[in-house]
């Protein structure tokens, strides 16, 4: 075999391995390689990590995961009782002490409280290393049916509140010349989806903002990570917005649904943080494959979406709950 054939076989083998990995995996290739060869999450030991939306779902699992990695935690959400239970579980598991977990109940829609809340955290820990903007609410309603009131509320919690909290923390990061902003975006932050119009709008907006922030903060040694999960088990459909401002969806996810566990999602987020990755995709198939198709062949992906999306549109028209099994 001559040297040219050798190199060719090597490259073809690498390509085949990448394809196989892609099909078997639940995250993008960069995150997969970081999980195997990158910094271990143990490198986060001692970091002060502020997680919003820590009272359930992905945020709760991330709290357990980062506590196991030796992080000191600030846990925020509105349900203080749930946060206290999570803190106790972590302490009972021997992962942390009373002083290393600070509970900070907050309604993130009260934007004016953000600067004083940051000061409260700094008084306790004297620093913040990583801010994980995870709190958010999903949505299920057709654009034609969704009142402006709901559109506004979706954007306030998913876009304006993380934007405001990040801006309140930035002066501290800039002064220290160190910091890391993480945001739980969504596959819907990359691709539009029927029945999720305002939600997709809120997550797409943050993607643009985070990309701008990353460039502006580059010389300040401040990192920005956007996490795009696909379907994950959580309380998201219980609290999701509908086409009525005073009604949440109230659907409990069926364990037989094709979704990633919040524990696996949190584990991959921890890897993304430890390796300071810019943007990561964390999802089962077919959403993960569709993200690749959308990224590299957007025209084809949009045509496919128009055809296959119609079934979902009619399900949403028939009543949003027909999309989901109720328990």
Ligand X SMILES: NC(=O)c1ccc[n+]([C@@H]2O[C@H](COP(=O)([O-])OP(=O)(O)OC[C@H]3O[C@@H](n4cnc5c(N)ncnc54)[C@H](OP(=O)(O)O)[C@@H]3O)[C@@H](O)[C@H]2O)c1
Q: Which residues are catalytic?
A: 199
Is residue 49 a contact residue for ligand X (CB under 6 A)?
A: no
Rounded distance, CA 316 to CA 313, Å? 5
Q: State the minimum distance, in angstroms, from the CB of residue 263 to ligand X.
A: 12
Is residue 229 a contact residue for ligand X (CB under 6 A)?
A: yes
Tell me the torsion sign for CA atoms 256, 259, 265, 268: positive
Rounded distance, CA 55 to CA 60, Å? 6
Torsion region of 147: left, alpha or beta (phi above 0 gives left; psi -120 to 50 gives alpha)? beta
Alpha helices in the chain (DSSP H): 3-24, 29-37, 57-68, 80-92, 114-125, 148-155, 161-176, 197-217, 236-239, 262-274, 287-296, 298-318
Rounded distance, CA 44 to CA 66, Å? 8
Q: Please, which residue, 174 or 205, has the CB nearer to ligand X? A: 205
> Which tokens in the block code for residue 12?
């073809």
Q: Please, which residue, 179 or 230, has the CB nearer to ligand X? A: 230
Residues 179-218 that bind ligand X (CB under 6 A): 184, 186
Q: Please, which residue, 176 or 239, has the CB nearer to ligand X? A: 239
Q: Please, which residue, 104 or 213, has the CB nearer to ligand X? A: 104
Could you give the string, one character per residue 89-128, with x where binding to ligand X holds by CB under 6 A and - elsewhere?
Answer: -----------------xxxx-------------------
Q: State the minimum distance, in angstroms, from the CB of residue 50 to ligand X.
A: 12
CA distances from 40 to 28, 58, 75, 268, 271 (A): 17, 20, 23, 11, 7
Is residue 55 a contact residue for ligand X (CB under 6 A)?
A: yes
Residues 323/140, Cβ–Cβ less than 8 Å = yes
Residues 122-181 that bind ligand X (CB under 6 A): 134-138, 157
**Which span sits near ligand X by CB under 6 A: 1-9, 190-198, 214-222, 228-236?**
228-236
- For ligand X, the binding residues (CB under 6 A) are 52-59, 77-79, 106-109, 134-138, 157, 184, 186, 229, 231-232, 234-236, 239
């Amino acid at each position: 075999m001559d040297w040219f054939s050798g190199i060719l076989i090597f490259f073809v083998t690498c390509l085949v391995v990448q394809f196989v990995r892609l099909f078997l995996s639940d995250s993008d290739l960069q995150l997969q390689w970081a999980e195997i060869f990158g910094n271990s999450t143990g490198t986060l030991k001692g970091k002060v990590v502020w997680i919003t939306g820590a009272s359930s779902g992905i945020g709760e699992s991330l709290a357990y995961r980062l506590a196991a990695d030796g992080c000191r935690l600030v846990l925020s959400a509105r349900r203080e009782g749930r946060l206290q239970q999570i803190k106790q579980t972590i302490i009972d598991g021997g992962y942390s002490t009373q002083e290393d977990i600070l509970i900070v109940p907050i309604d993130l829609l009260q934007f004016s409280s953000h600067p004083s809340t940051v000061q409260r955290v700094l008084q306790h820990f004297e620093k913040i290393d990583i801010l994980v903007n995870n709190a958010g609410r999903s949505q299920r309603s057709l654009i034609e049916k969704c009142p402006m009131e709901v559109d506004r509320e979706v954007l306030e919690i998913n876009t304006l509140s993380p934007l405001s909290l990040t801006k309140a923390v930035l002066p501290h990061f800039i002064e220290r010349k160190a910091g890391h902003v993480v945001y739980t975006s969504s596959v819907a932050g990359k691709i539009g989806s029927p029945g999720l119009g305002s939600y997709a709008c809120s997550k797409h907006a943050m993607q643009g903002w985070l990309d701008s922030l990353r460039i502006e903060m580059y010389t300040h040694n401040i990192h920005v990570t956007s996490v795009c999960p696909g379907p994950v088990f959580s309380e998201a459909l219980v609290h999701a917005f509908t086409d009525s401002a005073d009604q949440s969806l109230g659907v409990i996810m069926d364990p037989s649904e094709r979704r990633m566990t919040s524990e696996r999602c949190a584990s991959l987020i921890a890897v993304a943080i430890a390796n300071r990755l810019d943007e990561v995709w964390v999802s089962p198939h077919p959403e993960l494959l569709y993200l690749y198709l959308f990224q590299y062949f957007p025209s084809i992906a949009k045509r496919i979406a128009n055809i296959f999306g119609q079934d979902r549109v009619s399900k949403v028209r028939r009543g949003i709950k027909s999309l989901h099994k109720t328990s």
